[in-house]
Amino acid sequence: MRSLIIAALVSTMLASPALAGEAKRSTFGKTGDGHAVAAVTLTNGRGVSTRIIALGAAIQSLTMPDKAGKTADVQVGYDTIDGYLTKPEFFGATVGRVANRIAKGRFKLDGKTYTTPINNGPNSLHGGTKGFDKVLWDVVDVKSGPVASVTLRYVSPDGDMGYPGTLTTTATYSLDEKNQLTIEYRATTDKPTVVNISNHAYWNLAGVGSPRGAMGHVVTIPADRYTPTDATSIPLGQHKSVAGTVFDFRTPHAIGDRVRDARDVQIAYGRGYDHNWVIGNAVTPTQHLMARVVEPVSGRGFELWSNQPGLQFYSGNFFDGTIVGKGGQIYRMGDAIVMEPQLFPDSPNQPNFPSVKLLPGQTYRNTMTYRLFVEKR
């Protein structure tokens, strides 16, 4: 009897949900000036784990099983801190203060002109030459449990990269037992400023290093409009119907089917997809579906939900074989994709776009959830 009781207790302990939902601290190398880069790995009881690093408040890895139960890392990036320091490429990073592009690095706010560094052709991209992706964030809270989480904070001083106001930003990553990875950004300011923060995770659901790359991923985007751009990827200020174009993902399409169809000049401008889809006209109180992505061979997929009105979909067009990433893999065009819920590109200069203005007393909030799944059929 006693042995049966012990066996039952052991069985119960092995099945206990208390063994899941772990948040484990570690260190992911050091910066060039010797500061340790904190890391926190979130793990659930269903075979999903993700490592978040303090440099850029970034997703360094995310492992999930396929339909055969085989796990793989689906985040393109680097194995060590060195690559993130020398050629970061926004891998998995928090991007801001203003994600996406600002035309010629100039904008007006309350009648005053501000400039931010040019780092993408003639424009400013993702906050300038030292945006949120290139700074060391503080880890301020770590929680284990059914929802494992880590919260990081960064205080951007007044005038940082040319932006007005001291901006205090938190990034909270949480992983639950439903295989939902949620990222919530919050920011407050002490004077009027502009804010548009997002996450720049590079996904290859076939697994990093897979020769299939990401062009076989099947994408659905519930948007009937997108914002066409000029040759430098700055929106023209108008919405265009996706109907009859290569931008129509209202029904599922493999990315590679149309990504190189340069009969549409927009594809030629971006060397593929690098555009904003109009999901709505304003930030909403609750989340709505932004996209669904599935890799048919492995069955791995995700639904992306957010409260934001825009989705920037980038098909990895500028990987040129000069980046050596995880496992010694050379990253080539189309090896990964990015989907960034956000306000629209160049919004500070586009009066018809949703405003990115943030005032003292207000709280900026971008919440996004990746609902990870495995399609077994």
Would you say 170 and 186 are in contact if contact means Cβ atoms under 8 Å apart?
A: yes
Count CA within 13 A, CB hemisphere, residue 307.
15
Residue among 242, 209, 217, 212 nearest 227 (CA): 242
Structure tokens at 43: 């793990």
What is the C-alpha R_g of the chain?
21
198 strand-pairing partners: 95
Q: Is 239 a catalytic residue?
A: no
Could you say which of 126, 200, 239, 275 is catalytic? Answer: 200
> Which helix (H) or strand (E) element contains residue 154?
strand 147-156
Count, in order, helices (H) and strands (E) of the chain. 3, 30
- DSSP letter at 285 equals S
* Alpha-carbon dihedral 42, 134, 188, 191, rounded to 10 degrees: 180
Cross-strand pairs, 61: 51
Q: Which of 239, 275, 295, 340 is catalytic?
A: 340
Q: Considering only CA atoms, which of 40, 54, 83 is closest in space to residue 175? A: 40
Q: Is 200 a catalytic residue?
A: yes
Q: What is the CA angle 276-206-326, rounded to 5?
A: 90
Alpha helices, DSSP H, located in the chain? 2-15, 81-86, 265-270
Residue 85 in 3-state DSSP? helix
| Residues assigned a catalytic role | 200, 340
